[in-house]
Amino acid sequence: MRPMHLLGVTCLWILSCALLLGGACSDGLLRINLSKKRLDKETLAAAKSARQETNLLRPDDGSRHSLGLSDDDIVPLDNYLDTQYFGEIGVGTPPQNFTVIFDTGSSNLWVPSSKCYFSIACYLHHKYKSTKSTTYKKNGETCTISYGSGSIAGFFSEDSVLVGELVVKNQKFIETTREASPTFIIGKFDGILGLGFPEISVGSAPPIWQSMQEQKLIEKDIFSFWLNRDPDASAGGELVFGGVDKKHYKGKHTYVPVTRKGYWQFDMGDLLIGGESTGFCAGGCAAIVDSGTSLLAGPTTIVAQVNHAIGAEGIISTECKEVVREYGEMILELLVAQTRPQKVCSQIGLCVFDGSYSVSNQIESVVDKKEKRGSDLLCTACEMTVVWIQNQLRKNQTKELILDYANQLCERLPSPNGESTVDCHQISEMPDLAFTIANKTFTLTPEQYVVKLEQSGQTICISGFMAFDVPPPRGPLWILGDVFMGAYHTVFDFGESRIGFAKSA
Q: What distance separates the 2 farthest-apart alpha carbons in the chain?
A: 75
Residue 120 CA to residue 137 CA, distance in Å, equals 27
Phi, psi of 411 (to 5 degrees): -100, 0
Told to judge if 103 belongs to the known catalytic residues of this protein, a careful annotator would answer yes
C-beta neighbour count of 344 within 10 angstroms: 27
Going by C-beta distance under 8 Å and a sequence separation of 6 or more, which residues neighbour residue 41?
Answer: 453, 455, 456, 460
Q: Which residue in the list 72, 82, 103, 482 is annotated as catalytic?
A: 103
Phi, psi of 317 (to 5 degrees): -105, 115
> HSE on the CB side for 310, CA within 13 Å?
36
Residue 103 CA to residue 147 CA, distance in Å, equals 14
Task: Report the run of H or E that residue 163 belongs to, with start and end.
Answer: strand 150-163
For the chain, what's the residue count?
505
Going by C-beta distance under 8 Å and a sequence separation of 6 or more, which residues neighbour residue 188?
Answer: 9, 11, 84, 86, 99
Q: Which residue in the list 73, 290, 368, 493 is annotated as catalytic?
A: 290
Residue 159 CA to residue 177 CA, distance in Å, equals 17
Burial class of residue 443, CB neighbours in 10 A (0-12, 13-18, 19+):
middle
Going by C-beta distance under 8 Å and a sequence separation of 6 or more, which residues neighbour residue 354?
Answer: none
Type of residue at 306:
V
Q: Name the packing angle between helices 300-310 and 374-394 (round to 10°).
A: 60
Task: Report the run of H or E that residue 434 belongs to, with start and end.
Answer: strand 433-437
Phi, psi of 462 (to 5 degrees): -130, 155
Residue 77 CA to residue 181 CA, distance in Å, equals 27
Give catalytic residue positions. 103, 290
